[in-house]
Amino acid sequence: MCGIIGCAGRSEDTLDVLLSGLEGLEYRGYDSAGVALANGSLDVCKKQGEIARLQQAVGGLRGPVGIGHTRWSTHGPPTDANAHPHTDCTGDVAVVHNGIIENYEELKTELRERGHEFTSDTDSEVVPHLVEERLAEGASFEDAFRAAVARLEGSYALAAVTADSEAILATRHDSPLVVGVGDDAAYLASDVPAFLEYTDRVVYLEDGEFARLESGSWTVTDAEGRLLDKSISRVEWDAEETAKSGYDHYMLKEIHEQPRALRKALRGRVDEMTGSVDVESLAGLSPSSVQFVACGTSYHAALYGAQLLREEGVPAQAFLASEYATAPAPVDDDALVVGVTQSGETADTLSALREAHRRDVETLAMTNVVGSTATRECDRTLLIRAGPEIGVAATKTFSSQVVACNLLASTVARGEDAREVVGALRDLPGQVQELLDDSRAEQVADRFVDGAGYFFIGRGYHHPVALEGALKLKEITYKHAEGFPAGELKHGPLALVTDETPVFALATGDDEQATKTVGNVKEVEARDAPVVAVTDGVSDVGRYADEVLRVPETHPRVAPVLANVQLQLVAYHVANRLGRSIDKPRNLAKSVTVE
């Protein structure tokens, strides 16, 4: 949560760089924002609300060095005072922070006793005051910053400037930070899209490393101040991928990007003729069992993945990452723990992966973000290659995670020949395109926008999609929605079903599961609930439905992706009718870096 941007060396347009960087980071938090520019003196402007409010208020601040921040509140409500950057008593030191400083109360008490005055409720404000004290003792900015950081417990990405230094100092511990290397300028951000417009050359900071950015130069040192020889990586994403490109919302753009994302997920990894899957990073993998750990949408992909592996004869379970360490499930020596995480930065998932490390289990990061913390901490990485996802609601990354689960399952398979599945995966991008070109989701959304609540039911591989359909709807429409295994509805939730609660039923093919789901549809129909069938038309579920959302026929393992795209579109159009903040739903953030 929270986004940090910094820029050194572009004296003319530092403010523009900071503001456009903040827009690129707004998905990380958007309840307040601020900037500080240093130019002999320190100019700070910060505002409660979205970045547009800061843009109106900021005027023409100038300076060769600046930092900025967009906030997702943890300590104290979203107000101007609680917005970052925070400053010290002299107003000469400004700091932005992402994370949680656990010992801030103790530090605050101590600092207050020595005469410091605080103006916010935040944990972060202790940092500029700690820097101030050391500067007052005659320390250099760098020594003062290091000494302040040494006092902190918790998680942090920090960037600091002073009125009269032309450098930005930064460090991280359990929160992401990446340096952007330009020709004449250096950048710093929580995530690459913030400066991708200016450079695609990046240096990922590791925990405990310190960066110093000055006009056209950058250095990274370790905790003891020794210079490190860090390598520069080139990111493959381009700035166009992070723009809205004519769509009203990132979410809609990202839904429509799925055919391309799916092709990229498969490229060079599958051979349709032989049905073989060859993913370099999975070479030699043959786990005795697999545990998936994930949150939210990624957890739904993990549920799907676990089912897939079990079908391949590999014992597998999916765990909510936030619960994984609470009551650790037994794990055998040759097990594999897979962290499914779009961002690679979700604190709950990282914490579960660290628990796996403590237990000496091999770990795999299934992620979208090269260089993310998950990739750096796990033994192996399987990139899902979905491209940047800016909308808070995960869409294309779910589809790409499902494909990645298939790549993993085929690699470790002990079961059937993968040829058929691989063929279906290769057809999937075209089928998603077909569905996007001709979906009735908007009409369905129009018809049911006033629903009192929504239910989603599905069996087998459609169960995770039922959960995902409900999550998508609730997070962007703010309407109540629940997903269930179709057979579970009658064990309680059916009491909530009325003629005002549309039920979305997922049923493809005509196997036993589909037949049973048709039975469950009849049960809700008998209670007068409007039914929307998401189906390929093979079973007769459509006969009992008020609306049908068609998906192309395919392999049962692949059908959930198609069904899910229909549900993404329904959620989007309902939210749009209701005028919701689709890309930045209230109270949420894309990258949840607190536990």
CA contacts within 13 A on the Cβ side of 490? 12
* Residue 89 falls in the annotated catalytic set: no
Query: Among residues 48, 349, 381, 406, which is the contact residue for ligand M6R, using CB under 6 A?
Result: 349
393 counts as binding ligand M6R under rule CB under 6 A: yes
Q: Output the smallest distance, CB 345 to ligand M6R, in A.
A: 7
Window contacting ligand M6R (CB under 6 A); options: 123-131, 224-232, 295-303, 451-459:
295-303
Q: Output the smallest distance, CB 279 to ligand M6R, in A.
A: 20
Q: Give Dmax (Cα) for the chain.
A: 80
Q: Output the smallest distance, CB 516 to ligand M6R, in A.
A: 29
The single residue of 230, 253, 479, 590 carrying the catalytic annotation is 590
Contacts of 462 (CB under 8 A, 6+ apart): 486, 506, 507, 508, 513, 517, 559, 560, 563
**484 dihedral zone (left: phi>0; alpha: psi -120 to 50; beta):** beta
DSSP character at residue 230: P
Nearer to ligand M6R, 459 or 590 (CB): 590
Q: Is the peptide bond before 78 cis (omega within 30 degrees of 0)?
A: no
Nearest to 167 by CA among 142, 190, 147: 142
Pairing type for strands 186-189 and 276-277 reads unpaired
Dihedral sign for Cα atoms in the order 329, 335, 338, 339: positive
Measured CA to CA, the distance from residue 344 to residue 174 in angstroms comes to: 12
Q: Output the smallest distance, CB 229 to ligand M6R, in A.
A: 30
322 counts as binding ligand M6R under rule CB under 6 A: no
Nearer to ligand M6R, 289 or 373 (CB): 373
436 counts as binding ligand M6R under rule CB under 6 A: no
342 counts as binding ligand M6R under rule CB under 6 A: yes
Dihedral sign for Cα atoms in the order 268, 271, 275, 277: negative
Contacts of 17 (CB under 8 A, 6+ apart): 5, 7, 10, 66, 185, 187, 195, 198
Pairing type for strands 481-485 and 454-458 reads parallel
How is the beta sheet containing 210-214 ordered, strand by strand?
86-87, 93-101, 154-162, 168-173, 210-214, 217-221
Structure tokens at 94: 């400004």
122 counts as binding ligand M6R under rule CB under 6 A: no
Query: Among residues 6, 63, 296, 451, which is the contact residue for ligand M6R, using CB under 6 A?
Result: 296
Nearer to ligand M6R, 14 or 349 (CB): 349
Q: Are 300 and 393 in contact (CB under 8 A)?
A: no
Measured CA to CA, the distance from residue 346 to residue 226 in angstroms comes to: 30
Structure tokens at 396: 């294309």
Window contacting ligand M6R (CB under 6 A); options: 255-263, 342-350, 442-450, 501-509:
342-350
Query: Among residues 124, 165, 242, 343, which is the contact residue for ligand M6R, using CB under 6 A?
Result: 343
* Residue 405 falls in the annotated catalytic set: no
Q: Output the smallest distance, CB 469 to ligand M6R, in A.
A: 11
Nearer to ligand M6R, 116 or 580 (CB): 580
Binding mask 244-283 for ligand M6R (x = CB under 6 A): ----------------------------------------
The single residue of 2, 7, 378, 405 carrying the catalytic annotation is 2
Contacts of 341 (CB under 8 A, 6+ apart): 294, 295, 298, 349, 350, 365, 366, 367, 372, 374
Q: Output the smallest distance, CB 264 to ligand M6R, in A.
A: 18
| CA angle (418, 421, 426) in 5-degree steps | 120
Nearer to ligand M6R, 196 or 350 (CB): 350
Window 441-500: residues binding ligand M6R (CB under 6 A): 471, 475
How many other CB atoms sit within 10 Å of the CB of residue 125?
28
88 counts as binding ligand M6R under rule CB under 6 A: no
Measured CA to CA, the distance from residue 3 to residue 421 in angstroms comes to: 40
241 counts as binding ligand M6R under rule CB under 6 A: no
Total residues contacting ligand M6R by CB under 6 A comes to: 17
574 counts as binding ligand M6R under rule CB under 6 A: no
592 counts as binding ligand M6R under rule CB under 6 A: yes
Nearer to ligand M6R, 118 or 237 (CB): 237
298 counts as binding ligand M6R under rule CB under 6 A: yes
Nearer to ligand M6R, 168 or 592 (CB): 592
Q: Are 580 and 572 in contact (CB under 8 A)?
A: no
Window contacting ligand M6R (CB under 6 A); options: 123-131, 336-344, 426-434, 503-511:
336-344
Measured CA to CA, the distance from residue 27 to residue 2 in angstroms comes to: 9
* Angle separating helix axes 126-136 and 104-113, nearest 10 degrees: 40
394 counts as binding ligand M6R under rule CB under 6 A: yes
Q: Output the smallest distance, CB 26 to ligand M6R, in A.
A: 14
CA contacts within 13 A on the Cβ side of 45? 17
Structure tokens at 502: 């549309």
593 counts as binding ligand M6R under rule CB under 6 A: no
Measured from each CB, the residue nearest to ligand M6R is 296
Q: Are 55 and 73 in contact (CB under 8 A)?
A: no
Q: Output the smallest distance, CB 475 to ligand M6R, in A.
A: 6
341 counts as binding ligand M6R under rule CB under 6 A: yes
Q: Output the smallest distance, CB 425 to ligand M6R, in A.
A: 21
594 counts as binding ligand M6R under rule CB under 6 A: no
Nearest to 206 by CA among 174, 236, 233, 234: 174
Binding mask 145-174 for ligand M6R (x = CB under 6 A): ------------------------------
Nearer to ligand M6R, 130 or 386 (CB): 386
381 counts as binding ligand M6R under rule CB under 6 A: no
Measured CA to CA, the distance from residue 74 to residue 2 in angstroms comes to: 10
Q: Output the smallest distance, CB 298 to ligand M6R, in A.
A: 4
346 counts as binding ligand M6R under rule CB under 6 A: yes
Q: Output the smallest distance, CB 365 to ligand M6R, in A.
A: 10
Binding site for ligand M6R (CB under 6 A): 295-298, 341-343, 346, 349, 392-394, 471, 475, 590-592
Catalytic residues: 2, 590
